[in-house]
């Protein structure tokens, strides 16, 4: 993997790209170059998925479920509020089902044990993976 840094608005994050010993893969490099421009369009879908991931944590605390964390999760009432409690850990161009895609890793306040991975291809959010590792 080739390593660099990428700017997503005001955020700077580590970037990983596949490639040979000589250079990053040209297609991966082209995708990486488009990420800063595309990211604002992806944020609403990613926020909705992060909010969906958050909901069971908040519900567990509210109902006093035994599996709830000792600490209360943040109070989030709508998807756009997740950004106050989420931080980009990494960005990677990866292969998803044989095709190039993007994975953005997030650390979130309500799930301290996992890094969540928003996986996108062709500008479409495919999934929010509940546990990913930086490449």
Rounded CA gap, 16 and 13, in Å? 10
- Coil, strand, or helix at residue 77? coil
* Domain membership flag for residue 86: yes
Domain membership flag for residue 134: no
Token pair of 3, please? 């390593």
- Whether 69 is covered by a domain: the verdict is yes
124-129: average pLDDT: 96
Domain that holds residue 49: 2-129
Tell me how many domains the chain contains: 1
86 to each of 1, 53, 118, how far by Cα in Å? 25, 12, 12
Decide: helix, strand or coil at residue 110: coil
Tell me whether residue 25 is in a domain: yes
Does a structural domain hold residue 91? yes
pLDDT in tens, 16-46: 999 999 999 999 999 999 999 999 999 999 9
CA separation for the pair 63, 22 (Å, rounded): 55
Confidence (pLDDT) at 58: 83
pTM of the model: 0.92
Q: What is the pLDDT of residues 90-107, one digit of tens each?
A: 999 999 889 999 999 999
């Amino acid at each position: 993997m080739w390593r660099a840094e990428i700017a997503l608005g005001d955020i700077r994050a580590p970037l990983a790209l596949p490639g040979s010993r000589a250079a990053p893969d040209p297609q991966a490099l082209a995708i990486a170059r488009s990420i800063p421009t595309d990211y604002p369009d992806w944020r609403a879908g990613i926020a909705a998925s992060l909010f969906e991931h958050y909901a069971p944590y908040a519900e567990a605390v509210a109902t006093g479920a035994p599996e709830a964390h000792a600490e209360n999760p943040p109070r989030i009432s709508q998807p756009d509020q997740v950004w106050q409690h989420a931080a980009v850990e990494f960005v990677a161009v990866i292969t998803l089902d044989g095709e190039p895609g993007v994975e953005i890793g997030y650390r979130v306040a309500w799930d301290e044990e996992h890094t969540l991975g928003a996986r996108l291809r062709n500008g479409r959010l495919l999934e929010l993976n509940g546990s990913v590792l930086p490449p």
